[in-house]
Amino acid sequence: MKAKEQLEYVVKNSKYVKINSVCLDDFINNLEEVNYQHWYNFTSLDLNEKEKIILTFIIESLNFCFWQKPKFQIEYKGNIMKGSEALFYSIIKEVERNKLFLNIEYLNKLTKDNFEKIFYSSNSKISLTDLRYNLFKDTVNIIYKKGQYFFDELFNIKSDIDLLKYIVSEFKYFNDTSIYKGEKIEFHKRATLLVNDLYYMSPTIHNNLGNVDNLTGCADYGIPRTLRTYGILEYNEELADIVDNEIELEHDSNMEIEIRANMLYVLELIRGKLKDKDIKINSVELDNVIWQMGAKKKNTSPYHHTITIFY
């Protein structure tokens, strides 16, 4: 099954999650801004193309699981960054400070102590440090061993789906799949973000791909919370009790899979209805727009808590 067919399979068989079509239509009718800006546009970094590519692989190899308390946060140019933004700007600060940081030979020799210093904060600590370091080393080591051939491989790929397949096959920790009632469901959240990063930040990849319109959204815990806050996603009593009481939800459980798949399916429904209104936006852009809406909205529903490297 193709990715969208996989999502539909989960939606049709869901026990714990359902989509409220009335609330979905209300949400779409009241959706105002659908403008998208990639995060790199908000930095002052001046990097060459290969440095940008290495930066994206580093960031997305570490971009997971920020719900644990106390929430990781840093200060950057007078602003308090939390969660995934704190991760991004910790690395950006290091790139600004250390001119060797995006040198692959330097990165391949980076010790765990020096890795931890990148994420130093006086009032919080990034979670799962050992695990993040291991994933960082795995990603860097693959790039290091490939050498120039790594960039040649990337620059020979001609579609967003082929680039996604390359990432999940060459970098095993990006291979985000689950089995739901006998069917394989492909989420690939971090790999999807990475393809999007490469598309926006690498001129060669941008020209080769042409667009990233074939990707689905990014299945995490932030977007489902926002969709539930707006009444679009509804949880049954058992799942609602777990989420509302912040009880950890097991990765790859049917409950977790249903949350993620229904969330992605809703994004595809919204995207289709916006297209009917002559509003063109791809699923990753739409994902970001709704994430920003959730970040600004007060009194949001709780999000599900899952320890995972995939989101």
pLDDT tens per residue across span 197-213:
999 999 999 999 999 99
Flag whether 309 is in a domain.
no
Condensed to tens digits (0 to 9), the pLDDT of residues 170-200 reads 999 999 999 999 999 999 999 999 999 999 9
Flag whether 273 is in a domain.
yes
Taking the C-alpha atoms of residue 20 and residue 29, their distance in angstroms, rounded to an integer, is 15
Flag whether 244 is in a domain.
yes
Q: Which amino acid is at 192?
A: T
Q: What percent of the chain has pLDDT over 70?
A: 99
Give residue 30's pLDDT: 83
Q: Which amino acid is at 35?
A: N
Flag whether 149 is in a domain.
yes
Average pLDDT over every residue of 114-134:
93
Please choose, from the candidates 247, 262, 245, 239, the residue with its C-alpha nearest in 3D space to the C-alpha of residue 187. 262
Residue 51, Cβ neighbours under 10 Å: how many? 17
Look at 121 and 52; give whichever has higher pLDDT: 52
Taking the C-alpha atoms of residue 62 and residue 68, their distance in angstroms, rounded to an integer, is 15
3-state SS string over 18-43? Answer: EECHHHHHHHHHCCCCCCCCCHHHHC
Show the tokens assigned to 272: 């289709």
Range of the domain at 113: 3-296
Flag whether 209 is in a domain.
yes
Taking the C-alpha atoms of residue 311 and residue 309, their distance in angstroms, rounded to an integer, is 6
Flag whether 173 is in a domain.
yes
Q: What are phi and psi of 18, to 5 degrees?
A: -140, 160
Question: Are 65 and 128 within 8 A, CB to CB?
Answer: yes
Please choose, from the candidates 29, 6, 11, 30, the residue with its C-alpha nearest in 3D space to the C-alpha of residue 266. 11
Show the tokens assigned to 226: 């926002």
Q: What are phi and psi of 256, to 5 degrees?
A: -65, -45
Taking the C-alpha atoms of residue 107 and residue 141, their distance in angstroms, rounded to an integer, is 9
Question: How many domains, the chain?
Answer: 1
pLDDT tier at 169 (50, 70, 90 boundaries)? very high
Flag whether 201 is in a domain.
yes
Taking the C-alpha atoms of residue 118 and residue 110, their distance in angstroms, rounded to an integer, is 11
Give residue 74's pLDDT: 95
Give 292-301's long-range contacts (Cβ < 8 A, gap of 24+).
Answer: 293/226, 294/222, 294/223, 294/225, 294/226, 294/229, 295/222, 297/226, 297/229, 299/229, 300/225, 300/226, 300/229, 301/225, 301/228, 301/229, 301/243, 301/244
pTM of the model: 0.95
